[in-house]
Structure 1
Amino acid sequence: MARLRDPEKGCPWDRVQTHETIAPFAIEEAYEILDCVTREDWDGLPDELGDLLLQVVYQARIAEEAGRFDLAEIARRIGDKMIRRHPHVFAGASADPDRWEQDKQTERAVRAEYGILAGIAPALPALLRAEKLGKRAARVGFDWDTPEQVLGKIQEELDEVRAELAGGDRKRLEDEVGDVLFTVASLARKLGLDPEACLRHGNAKFTRRVEAMEAMVAERGHSLDALDLAAQEALWRQAKIRLENRSPGEDAPEGDSDAAIALRR
């Protein structure tokens, strides 16, 4: 990294990067690691972990050039933190399940971060941050008692979205849709589910179904954009049946479904 950042002989792109310009890449690399783990791509995982490690080295080098800290300081601090947060391992203390959060609260106080929501990074993905905000508020009892109560709140928020549709005020709609999404994240939390994982599952399901639709229309020499909405919806239903009912490696029968009829027109 020192060679890449060399003012005279380094890479022109690497030389001009700053803490701010490269920070988003760390988020991207972390999600690529998650993708590898989800797919159990153990051969690709070392590459992705290396990409994330490079981001740490990159930030450390920029900081070292400015005289702030270096890679050794990063390693020392995380080592000290792990020892501090695990006294039952490193200091012979009794295991205390609340110790981790107590130590984090102490660290937030040292950084002058006060309040029940302190320390939840605004730059987190919005759905993940919504879950963390709700979980933190729940620690002081500010929460629904049951998932059913959250469902009622979701319906209330949807009604508010519906009421704003006629006015067409974009800011008000943004506000109300945000309330819906936040409350849905709370529902997942109350059910013991990870809302990010739920949405990833939904995204993957949608992707599989659309790809199945594309494959079916391609078999008949068509493309999705050549079909009207009714034909696309019929094809969606057929793709759903094909993916949910077939055995591994088995294709659904061709039959005279609504989609097949629409495609023959």
Structure 2
Amino acid sequence: MPWIGVAEAVSEEEAREAMESVGLLLKKVVGTIEVRTERGWIRFRVYEVEGGVEGVAEILAPRVGAPVFESGRHLILGEASARLWDEGAKVVFPDGVSEVVAIFTFDGFLDVRMPTSNVRGLKATMVIGGKIYELPLKLSDLIEVYSMGKRALEKVEKAASVYGLEKVISKEALEELRRRREKRIRVEVDYETGFVLILEGGRIRTAPLRSFFLDLIYEGRVEKAKEIFERAPEQVRRELLEALKEDYEASKAMGLKGRQRAIERAAKELGLAEELGLRGDSSCPSA
């Protein structure tokens, strides 16, 4: 459904009358958002409407004496066949000046609809197994996704790699999962062989120390990674640092911003920021 956004200063009654006067049927009030324009941040009350919205903002803005935006299929910015595009909102001011602002980025590969930095108050969404979930995912969402099978879980993992773990899975869900996992898992590190022995429930498995160390960082378990790093012999520390550098460069080259941010945060906590060439704040822009 298309949207019409009317400056919050305009009453709902006046906005409704104005929209009905141009043949739009108001379906529901979506909520209140802020949009960054060339004239600064503007707060809009957003309405989901039925009917054609193209050109409507130009009529409504002078009528209500306040900024109005329209957003619909006519404002897809980019080529839909490329499966990656922005969804725009055309903001019109009462004096007739207008601009198009990208408010969502749609990723057709992962079915993610992510708000851009030009908007506040919109929720990201992701389609998994035919169902739309709000991001970040809650624990109950993750349990539901887990029941869908390996492919659904891999989709969530890929989204976390691209957009960042904190944008895809809620902090509360991550903390609960870690708490449950730590209760069931015991880890023994063999620095001489370079392997980790993992006792999980009644099962035992091994993993290369390098991979295990990086996984801890991507999962946000930096304290555990720090403990392993600080206890390691000097030669092993150098090897882990080299692994971190290699993965950091690979993440930058592949545009995996989530992994890049995770490494940057961990490097600072591990005291390795200088070794990775980090200066000041994170060099990775927000997604």
TM, length-normalised to structure 1: 0.22
**Which structure is higher in strand share?**
2
Going by fraction, where is helix more abundant, 1 or 2?
Answer: 1
Select the structure with the greater relative contact order (CA < 8 A; seq sep ≥ 6).
Answer: 2
Q: Flag the structure with larger Rg.
A: 1
TM-score, length-scaled by structure 2: 0.21
